[in-house]
Homo-oligomer: A and B are copies of this chain.
């Protein structure tokens, strides 16, 4: 396909217009760029190295293609909003056409992938098989449902529960996939604890039956108390979630206070101890799979192929239990793992493999581009520039210059191997170029801006008291908000506060250089300003609407929320709060991964729930006075706790309601009443759906969430800059173009500004400084790093840059799928 090849070529050769290269070199460059880009984004799929395949591969990884894939995934998931039972109903024909479109897109993506990757690898990958099977199943389901629909029989759209498969299995969702794999690996351990837990529950159920069954006790609702073994088991399972405590205990407790000991024992054992053990097992597995070293099966494999690893191993005799310790030399921790015989199955560490792969790919790229200068191989500056332009087309020229300065330390016109290998990491570090310019007003009318009044104002704004005054204003504002706003005086006060805030921002913009104030990572400044502007717009809109006697509840609600969100600004000025919030924001991305995981599970459960419970319970306006409204449109619910609690709105009648209901079930409280309600309108077995949801979401997922947060916090507590980052910062400082982040954050740019002043007024004619004049850099997101990146960096420092590297084959033979051994054998 010459046309295709030309198109891709045009696309990628665009940046390298300065010098016309021979076509062959262009090919090499593209191949090297593919390697570097893979290393940068940790993609570990092997690709074909034919020129055409490389162009296709670049195209495959182009952001537009990935964005398109995500778009179709979300469209496909969103279809549930429009299908019966729908929030916004659309005819079946429309949704099915949309679904087929999505499936086509997925299939296309898969074909594209098959073209760039070796056939063997493609067909061995379960991900691809999984996607293909899901596509076929969905098509079959669509056809069956469509034909049934044609003859007016309502079928079950079961394949909809499979839709999250696409979210999991497209290669970009590595994080979610890893979490799922981690869950799968945890399952055996969890399973035995769970069985023991069930056993203990059974023992307690039998005891309850014998102790209370014949006493003729009654619950508060007047139903018999603890007479049926299945009911008892359910009640006790609910008690584990604490949802029916203390009600379930009261009848027995009233009989004799002695019996309360039974329940207290039960709660201590099953709620506190077992639930903590679940957390411990999950957390332990989570840490293990992240941090464990690459373990050769029974001490036999691969130590020879990776000789520089040996110092980090302490190997017990093969087949024995013992401690496998791996010292992570750089920074963090000595992670130790015990192989209890037959208790723990080990998997080779993905992270470790990733680090090796990255190293391998960068070496490949280096080998393609290298030329010999003197005794060592290097990459010439011109080639290096073109490579970076291909890999990261949107890098600014000043950033490129900085990277070159760091990589080409001696300014010799070429980059050596060690520095070249760092390129992938360097590209991953976001450097913010702070363009320190004079204040526009200063350029425009220097006299006025430098007048004593103006300087006084600037001093004032920079003063600490200015911050405090505004904190007090915010607090007074809070009190006013709490007061009733029907009073017109208070409603005027609102305008006063708003104008005070706007004055504050204007004053700050007057004092600080605007483009620095709204720098890329000035989160809190952005936050401040956006909230105020939004509040201003909303208030104006609201007043306009009200003036026309047209009262919009939505706009009013937004105004109210924005008005209150303004109070969050207090956090900015309290150092300790800012630290906590910054940590929370930094672990945000990790939580988003977790959000993906939750979405997958919720979606599947919601679809199943809608198929099973759709239309059984209706919310009817209780104001209508209809007797049906009190029993949620279903007579089976008469006198049930569900109807008495006015829970009718909690149903599975559309996707939104289902997701809200599942959220309530995750919170756990009163879930037994919800489960009972749905069991009454269908069948007692419906409770299994709710118990299943509890086991999956609350016992597994919520504990993983806690493990996530714990680990993220520990990493945040124990995190410092990586070596690469430190190198960059050193260079930035050396070049004299650095800005301390602390200064920027703490002093509200004051110190920064001072630095600017001194720097420019003195105008020390530093040689290096001149080249990047007016540009200051700092490393963005200094504190934030994913656990992943961190661990990889630790492993990387194990890999000797020189010396014999393991071949790609050897590295892949480390891969988790292969080195999956069972040491109990």
Q: Given that A322-B720, A705-B276, A718-B338 are contacting pairs, would A242 and B667 also be in contact in the complex, using a CB cutoff of 8 Å?
A: yes
CA of A242 to CA of B665 in the docked complex: distance in angstroms? 11
Interface of A is mostly: helix
List residues 740-771 of chain A with CB under 8 A from any CB of chain B.
Answer: none
Task: Tell me the bound Cα distance from A649 to B250 in angstroms.
Answer: 8
Q: Which residues of B have CB within 8 Å of A577?
A: 192, 195-196, 199
Residue numbers of A with Cβ under 8 A of B are 192-193, 195-196, 199, 202-203, 206-207, 209-211, 220, 229, 242-247, 249-250, 253-254, 257, 260, 264, 267, 271-273, 276-277, 279-281, 283-284, 322-323, 325, 327-328, 331-338, 340, 342-344, 478, 481-482, 557, 560-561, 563-565, 567-568, 570-571, 575-577, 579-581, 584, 619, 622, 644-647, 649-650, 656-657, 660, 663-664, 667-670, 702, 705-706, 709-710, 713-714, 717-720
Cβ distance A790 to chain B, nearest Cβ, rounded Å: 12
Q: Which residue of B lies closest to A709 (CB)?
A: B276
Contact of A567 among B203, B284, B571 (CB under 8 A): B203
Supply 6 A–B pairs (Cβ within 8 Å), ascending by A.
A210-B481, A210-B560, A229-B482, A246-B650, A277-B713, A328-B334
Residues of B within 8 A of A273 (CB): 584, 709
Q: Which of B209, B211, B246, B580 makes the CB contact (< 8 A) with A192?
A: B580
Contacting pair A668 B242 (CB below 8 A) = yes
Q: Is the CB of B667 within 8 A of A284?
A: no
Of A249, A333, A649, chain B has the most CB atoms within 10 Å of the CB of: A649
**Which residue in chain B gives the minimum CB-CB distance to A591?**
B273
Contacts of A650 in B (CB 8 A): 246
Q: Shortest beta-carbon distance, A253 to chain B, in Å?
A: 5
| Nearest CB on B from A188, distance (A) | 9
Q: Which residues of B contact A702 (CB under 8 A)?
A: 272
Question: Measured between C-beta atoms, what is the minimum distance from A762 to chain B in Å?
Answer: 27
Given the interface pairs A338-B720, A580-B193, the reply to whether A206 lies near B277 with Cβ below 8 Å is no
- Among the listed B210, B331, B478, B710, which residue makes an inter-chain contact with A280, where contact means beta carbons less than 8 Å apart? B710
Question: Known contacts A334-B333, A581-B196, A663-B264; is A207 also within 8 Å of B647 by CB?
Answer: no
Partner of A254, one of B209, B327, B619: B619
Minimum CB–CB distance from A243 to chain B (whole Å) comes to: 6
Is the CB–CB distance between A284 and B713 below 8 Å? yes
Give, as a whole number of angstroms, the nearest-CB distance from A399 to chain B.
28
Closest 8 CB pairs of A and B: A334-B334, A280-B713, A210-B560, A276-B709, A246-B664, A245-B669, A192-B576, A242-B669
Collect the chain B residues with CB atoms within 8 Å of residue A667's CB: 242, 245-246, 267, 271
B717 and A338 contacting across the interface, CB-CB below 8 Å: yes
Establish whether residues B257 and A560, one from each chain, have CB atoms under 8 Å apart when the complex forms. no
Q: A210 — which chain B residues lie within 8 A by C-beta?
A: 481, 560-561, 563-564
The oligomer's copy count stands at 2
Chain B: CB-nearest residue to A342: B575
Query: Which B residues lie within 8 Å of A669 (CB)?
Result: 242-246, 669
What residues of B have a CB within 8 angstroms of the CB of A325 in the complex?
Answer: 331
Q: Could you tell me if A257 and B656 are in contact, using CB atoms closer than 8 angstroms? A: yes
By the criterion CB–CB under 8 Å, are A646 and B220 in contact?
A: yes
One of B199, B478, B668 near A571 (C-beta < 8 A): B199
Contact check, A714 vs B280: say whether CB atoms are below 8 A apart.
yes
How far, in Å, is A333 (CB) from chain B's closest CB? 5
Are B280 and A709 interface neighbours, CB within 8 A? yes
CB-CB under 8 A for A323 and B720, given A656-B257, A709-B276: yes
Q: Which residues of B contact A647 (CB under 8 A)?
A: 246, 250
Closest to A269 in B: B584
In the bound complex, how far is the Cα of B193 from the Cα of A53, in angstroms? Answer: 54
| Additional pairs, 9, CB under 8 Å, beyond known A207-B560, A245-B667, A279-B709 | A196-B580, A206-B478, A206-B482, A207-B564, A210-B564, A332-B336, A333-B334, A333-B336, A342-B575
Given contacts A280-B709, A713-B277, contact A333 B333 (CB under 8 A): yes
CA A568 to CA B717, docked complex, whole Å: 44
Smallest CB–CB gap between A52 and chain B, Å? 48
Whether B323 and A331, one on each chain, are in contact in the complex, defined by CB atoms closer than 8 angstroms, is yes
A203 touches B284 (CB 8 A): no
Check B207–A561 contact: CB distance below 8 A.
yes
Note all chain B residues with C-beta closer than 8 A to A220.
644-646
Chain B residues with CB below 8 A from A663, complex form: 260, 264, 267
Nearest CB of chain B from residue A633's CB, rounded to whole Å: 14
Given known pairs A336-B718, A719-B338, the reply for A571 and B242 (CB within 8 Å) is: no
Partner of A649 from the list B229, B253, B328 (CB cut-off 8 Å) is B253
Expressed in whole angstroms, the Cα–Cα distance for A283 and B717 within the complex equals: 12
Given A333-B334, A705-B276, A565 and B244 touching (CB < 8 A)?
A: no
CA distance A709 to B561 in the complex (A): 41
Residues of B within 8 A of A664 (CB): 245-246, 249
A663 to B211, CA, bound (A): 22
Residues B203 and A564 in contact, CB atoms below 8 Å apart: yes
Query: Which single residue of chain B is at the shortest CB-CB distance from A644?
Result: B220
For the complex, give the distance between the alpha carbons of A322 and B717 in Å. 11
CA distance A448 to B580 in the complex (A): 78
B718 lies within 8 A of A283 (CB): no
Complex Cα distance A288/B336, Å?
Answer: 18
CA distance A328 to B334 in the complex (A): 9
Chain B's nearest CB lies how many Å from the CB of A642? Answer: 12
Bound Cα distance A434, B488 (Å): 90
List chain B residues, Cβ under 8 A from A344: 717
Give Cα distance in the complex from A229 to B478, angstroms. 12
Q: A257-B657, A647-B246 are known contacts. Are A277 and B192 too (CB-CB below 8 A)? A: no
Contact (A568, B203) CB under 8 Å given A209-B482, A220-B646, A264-B663: yes
Question: How far is B443's CA from A145's CA once the two chains are assembled, in angstroms?
Answer: 81
Partner of A565, one of B203, B565, B644: B203
B276 touches A206 (CB 8 A): no
Looking at A257, A271, A478, the one whose CB has the most chain B CB atoms below 10 A away is A257
Query: How many Å from the CB of A751 to the closest CB on chain B?
Result: 16
Measured in the bound complex, the distance between the Cα atoms of B333 and A333 in whole Å is 7
